[in-house]
Structure 1
Amino acid sequence: MTPAELSASLLAVVQGVLERRRADEGAAGEGSGEGATAVVTAPVAVTLADAVLERPKNRDHGDWSSNIAMKFAKRVGTNPRELATAIAGELMEEDGIASVDVAGPGFINITLEAAAAGALAQSIVEAGDSYGDGTYYQGVTIDLEFVSANPTGPIHLGGVRWAAVGDSLARIFQAVGGLVTREYYFNDHGTQLDRFSGSLLASALGEPTPEDGYGGAYIPEIAARVIETYDGDIADLPRDEAQELFRAVGVEFMFADIKKSLHDFGVDFDVYFHENSLHESHAVERAIARLRELGHIYEADGATWLRTTTFGDDRDRVVIKSDGEAAYIAGDLAYYLDKRERGFERNLIMLGSDHHGYIGRMMAMCAAFGDTPGVNLEILIGQLVNLVRDGEPVRMSKRAGTVVTMEDLVDAVGVDAGRYALVRSSIDSMIDIDLDLLTKRSNDNPVFYVQYAHARTQAVARNAASSGVDRSAFDASLLTHPTEAALLGALSELPRVVQQAAELREPHRVARYVEEVAGTYHRWYDACRVTPLGDEEVTDLHRTRLWLNAAAGQVIRNGLGLLGVSAPERM
């Protein structure tokens, strides 16, 4: 019996109990004389969302627990324990349930029969890659904007964290039915690119780096590549023409490098949106016109303002400055409206901790367009990352000169370890990544620990095949060892963990979950054999355990896949 099947049974029982209680109370009210009133007079709606099951912390309390009686007792005029007792009595009649107990103020603890619990192993294997998927965001269009690093240098470690977290979150949204677009906002409008192109030109001419320019070994590298594309001597060009050449061609080279770095890290975007297009296509003017129609634009001191204080911002925002230049928020207005016009119901933007003050004005902007902050627009803020080696911070990049880059991290620990380390902690917390730990092939290294568990499931399968054990039979009632119950319990949790990770925007929950599954699997492996010893005959217990082994491998593989981390067959 899968958790979904048990939830459906629980829902049906609760609906039946509540309906009968309503009918009984109504009949009692009608027949008790003048002035009698029925406690319950209208149906009480119960949905699958109410029939949520949790794993008890103490497995002696059963396989599953529900607080549904405490949710509905007051609405049907009784106390939770009485309602829970009524539900428990009827739930005991359901196939596959061994016992149902009522605990505390009204918790319903459910223990499944061994065969019902063990059937999950076969269900997981048959579901394959789709096990863990759900419908939480079925058909919802989601634009997920992350990384969006300026094309003025390699991606630094903060951007690398967003690459790992953002791509994992996109995979999780897709697993629960979301129609996800990964989007990169390409900042090709503004003074930063002037500083970048000026730095390239200075390098090409053998001049010192401008005071406000960019350093690092990548600048002469890009400058040399630009020079190779020009048929002539750069020094012969007027300086403004030369700088424009380095701006146009240099940015393309830099962005191509960024795209390659991301691709090599397992991250590819569906849309690369150019900021400059907002200004060239008059999207800014259209956004301002829309807000003016809605009554939120006004003129003062020679400038054009958006009245964001109406929507909770600490002050109104200048959209067009008195000199006629667009303020930065003007691009935000146009970009948000563009996303909504492209049909995205939910728009998520991932930003670093230095953008925390940005949230108020963005949510006010969302409300000004008539949308719902936190629904149509969400902003996720992530904290900093530090690399540590030998207990000391790693600060210098081989290529960028002042920051640690994506390439530095991958060179040090590899893609899998890098992605896993960046995604296994909440984005709300600063993290220290221990390079010494992530290069160790030991159980102290979290990614190795999980990947080794998967490799072990594949080794067991290979050994089983060589010993004549196959999956030609399955008898779930044979899975009675305590470690088998624990492993089945852990495997059953993947759908709930995936939905929770999507709902809370916390992909680290998946990482911590697969670590728990790996530990539970290792304990089962130590206690239960899949292959017979010596001249032992192959039995249905061996065959059934091979199903359970395959189910464990599938769950670990699916979990790692949601994080963009490989599941090796050998280690």
Structure 2
Amino acid sequence: MDPAALSAALLAVIAPLAEARREGSSAGITAADLPLERPKNRDHGDWASNAALKLSKVVGANPREFAAEVAAGLEAVDGIASVEVAGPGFINIRLDAAAAGALAKTIVDQGASFGTNDSRADEIINLEFVSANPTGPIHLGGTRWAAAGDALARILSSQGAKVTREYYFNDHGAQIDRFARSLVAAHQGDPTPEDGYGGAYIGDIAARVVEAYDGDIDALDADAKQEAFRELGVTLMFGEIKQSLHEFGVDFDVYFHENDLHDSGAVDRAVARLRELGHIFEADGATWLRSTEFGDDKDRVIIKSDGQPAYISGDLAYYLDKRERGFNRCIIMLGADHHGYVQRLMAMCAAFGDEPHVNLQVLIGQMVNLVRDGQPLRMSKRAGTVVTLEDLVEIVGVDAARYALTRSSADSNLDIDLDVLQKRTNDNPVFYVQYAHARTHNVARNAAASGVDRSEFAPELLDHETESALLGALQEFPRIVAYAAEVREPHRVARYLEELAGLYHRWYDNCRVIPLGDAPVEPVHRTRLWLNDATGQVLRNGLTLLGVSAPERM
């Protein structure tokens, strides 16, 4: 019995009880009013609900007495073995083995679609992440967002949302000028400018610019030379970034150029819209947004007194552009150094008449540190000053890198022990999960060789305590994915997979799929193969959501 069926049964019991107590009215109670959750202590049953507590005031009943009435009704439902009332009115529900075990066949039949739904079909999401400046390789912070952002996009899509992955390409501003000057200096053999970029990659890009330039780049005057290095250097650097991300399993639907905002008049359109809404004023020769009316700590200059746009002008234009492209959810992933920027972004959202934290959401990611032999790893072979995406992948591979960067909440600092990630032991979390998946395939191969197939399914035979625990965890997968989408936290899927892998390994140690010796194949063996394959399917579905492979052999 799945949660939807159990929820329907609970509603079918509670609605007439409420109607009787309220003289013909069930008070509009729906399944959404009847929460179900897995008890932390499985001795308390398969499912628990506080519906009686929640509705006791609505129906005018003592919570525990109302819970007892609900329990009596539920005990008559097929598939429910027993119901107990605990504490002030909690209802603990235990399914019979057949009802619980039926899930294994459901998962195998649904395959890759198990855990998906269309509950977020009305969400048209622009998910902006990474967006590193094209002035150097992607550092670990950007790499974390690449892994977490792509996983979040996959999770949201699995729940029916229409997700566009977008990279904001910053090709406008002082950083690009410093990058160009650094390339020129490297080409001419001059020292790196004081505010410039170092690392071997600068020399590599500079040499490629010279090779790509049509003509003698040294024949240009200083300004023209810098412009040539700027234009070609940014193109080449960004090409490397895109290639690195692609090899990391991350591709974007849209690469949005910051220059386009300034060249297309988008800033002027944003200012005009805000002026129409009455949120613009002029003071000291500048144009201001009255952002304090929307929770900001001070009003913000949009156009400076010299006529040049302030930094926030680009944010205003970019947000409005996204909304005009039809996105009703704009999610931006930013590094920890942007934490103080959230308040003004939410004020901007409200000024346009939108709902902060709904139409616009900002996720903040914290720092990542690599540790080897107990010591921080700080230097890159190529970038010189920071460890990059390529450095991490070279050491541990794409799967381990993506999994390690996704399995912890992005708003907490993360230390990655490279020694652990290179081990093929249970200490390595990605190995632990991938090995569980590979083991399900090994069991299936051995079962086929021993004449065990899925020609029979007797779910009532899945009554071992490790089978009950494994089925309980498998049942949780759709809820975990749905919640990860709701709170925008991919790490919840990873942690779930580790728990599931542990339960599978314990089941493997206790329950045989293949008969011992010359013993005959029995219905229990065939039924256990369904459970084995169901577990493999859920592990595979979860790893896919994280952008991590599910190997069949290890």
TM-score range, shorter chain: over 0.9
Task: Give me the whole-angstrom Cα distance separating, in 1, the residues matched to 2:57 and 2:417.
Answer: 52
| Corresponding residue SS for 1:565 | coil
Task: Give me the whole-angstrom Cα distance separating, in 1, the residues matched to 2:218 and 2:547.
Answer: 47
- Name the residue aligned to 1:182: 165
Task: Give me the whole-angstrom Cα distance separating, in 2, the residues matched to 1:545 and 1:238.
Answer: 76
Q: How does 1:43-442 map to 2 (within 5 A)?
A: 43-442=26-425
Task: Give me the whole-angstrom Cα distance separating, in 1, the residues matched to 2:508 and 2:375.
Answer: 38
Task: Give me the whole-angstrom Cα distance separating, in 1, the residues matched to 2:122 and 2:252.
Answer: 20
Shift of 1:136: 3.3
Task: Give me the whole-angstrom Cα distance separating, in 2, the residues matched to 1:499 and 1:136.
Answer: 9
Task: Give me the whole-angstrom Cα distance separating, in 1, the residues matched to 2:119 and 2:412.
Answer: 26
1:10 aligns with 2:18: no
Aligned residue-pair number: 554
Q: Deviations over 1:247-281 (max 9, x none)?
A: 11110110010001111111111111111000100
Shift of 1:297: 0.5
Shift of 1:12: 2.2
Shift of 1:46: 2.2
Which piece of structure 1 moves more, 281-290 or 134-143?
134-143
Whether the aligned pair in 1 keeps the contact of 2:129 and 2:149 (CA below 8 Å) is yes
- Name the residue aligned to 1:493: 476
Q: Deviations over 1:65-94 (max 9, x none)?
A: 011111110111112111111111111111
Q: Deviations over 1:144-203 (max 9, x none)?
A: 111000000000000000111111111111111111111110001111111111111111
Shift of 1:234: 1.8
- Name the residue aligned to 1:565: 548
| Corresponding residue SS for 1:516 | helix
Whether the aligned pair in 1 keeps the contact of 2:49 and 2:90 (CA below 8 Å) is yes
Task: Give me the whole-angstrom Cα distance separating, in 1, the residues matched to 2:356 and 2:410.
Answer: 21
Task: Give me the whole-angstrom Cα distance separating, in 2, the residues matched to 1:406 and 1:72.
Answer: 52
Shift of 1:233: 2.3
Task: Give me the whole-angstrom Cα distance separating, in 2, the residues matched to 1:272 and 1:8.
Answer: 45
TM-score w.r.t. length of structure 2: 0.99
Task: Give me the whole-angstrom Cα distance separating, in 1, the residues matched to 2:357 and 2:29.
Answer: 27
Q: Quick one: which amino acid aligns to residue 282 of structure 2?
A: E
Whether the aligned pair in 2 keeps the contact of 1:114 and 1:479 (CA below 8 Å) is yes
Shift of 1:231: 3.3
- Name the residue aligned to 1:33: none
Shift of 1:137: 1.3
Task: Give me the whole-angstrom Cα distance separating, in 2, the residues matched to 1:48 and 1:414.
Answer: 45
Task: Give me the whole-angstrom Cα distance separating, in 2, the residues matched to 1:550 and 1:472.
Answer: 13
| Corresponding residue SS for 1:536 | coil
Shift of 1:139: 3.0
The alpha-carbon distance between structure 1 residues 60 and 231, as it changes in their structure 2 partners (threshold 3 A), is closer
Shift of 1:425: 0.7
RMSD: 1.0
- Name the residue aligned to 1:467: 450
Task: Give me the whole-angstrom Cα distance separating, in 1, the residues matched to 2:303 and 2:166.
Answer: 26
Shift of 1:49: 2.4
Task: Give me the whole-angstrom Cα distance separating, in 2, the residues matched to 1:343 and 1:230.
Answer: 40
Task: Give me the whole-angstrom Cα distance separating, in 1, the residues matched to 2:352 and 2:263.
Answer: 22
| Corresponding residue SS for 2:85 | strand
Task: Give me the whole-angstrom Cα distance separating, in 2, the residues matched to 1:326 and 1:196.
Answer: 22
Which residue, out of 516, 522, 526, partners 1:533?
Answer: 516
1:449 aligns with 2:423: no
| Corresponding residue SS for 1:183 | strand
Whether the aligned pair in 2 keeps the contact of 1:306 and 1:318 (CA below 8 Å) is yes
Task: Give me the whole-angstrom Cα distance separating, in 2, the residues matched to 1:101 and 1:263.
Answer: 53
Whether the aligned pair in 1 keeps the contact of 2:124 and 2:161 (CA below 8 Å) is yes
Task: Give me the whole-angstrom Cα distance separating, in 2, the residues matched to 1:67 and 1:209.
Answer: 66
Whether the aligned pair in 2 keeps the contact of 1:387 and 1:394 (CA below 8 Å) is yes
Shift of 1:51: 2.5
Q: Quick one: which amino acid aligns to residue 41 of structure 2?
A: N
Gaps of 5+ in 1: 27-41
Shift of 1:11: 2.1
Task: Give me the whole-angstrom Cα distance separating, in 1, the residues matched to 2:399 and 2:321.
Answer: 35
Which residue, out of 520, 538, 545, partners 2:528?
Answer: 545
| Corresponding residue SS for 2:33 | coil
| Corresponding residue SS for 1:241 | helix
Task: Give me the whole-angstrom Cα distance separating, in 2, the residues matched to 1:463 and 1:139.
Answer: 45
Q: Deviations over 1:277-324 (max 9, x none)?
A: 001000000000000000000110010000000111010000000111
Whether the aligned pair in 2 keeps the contact of 1:205 and 1:235 (CA below 8 Å) is no
Whether the aligned pair in 2 keeps the contact of 1:66 and 1:107 (CA below 8 Å) is yes
Shift of 1:135: 3.3
Instruction: Give the fraction of aligned pairs with identical amino acids, expressed as a percent.
Output: 71
Q: How does 1:30-45 map to 2 (within 5 A)?
A: 42-45=25-28
Shift of 1:47: 2.6
Task: Give me the whole-angstrom Cα distance separating, in 1, the residues matched to 2:238 and 2:19.
Answer: 63
Task: Give me the whole-angstrom Cα distance separating, in 2, the residues matched to 1:230 and 1:144.
Answer: 35
Task: Give me the whole-angstrom Cα distance separating, in 1, the residues matched to 2:28 and 2:142.
Answer: 46
Q: Quick one: which amino acid aligns to residue 239 of structure 1?
A: A
Q: Deviations over 1:402-430 (max 9, x none)?
A: 00000000001111110111111111210
| Corresponding residue SS for 2:32 | coil
Whether the aligned pair in 1 keeps the contact of 2:16 and 2:26 (CA below 8 Å) is no
| Corresponding residue SS for 1:73 | helix
- Name the residue aligned to 2:467: 484
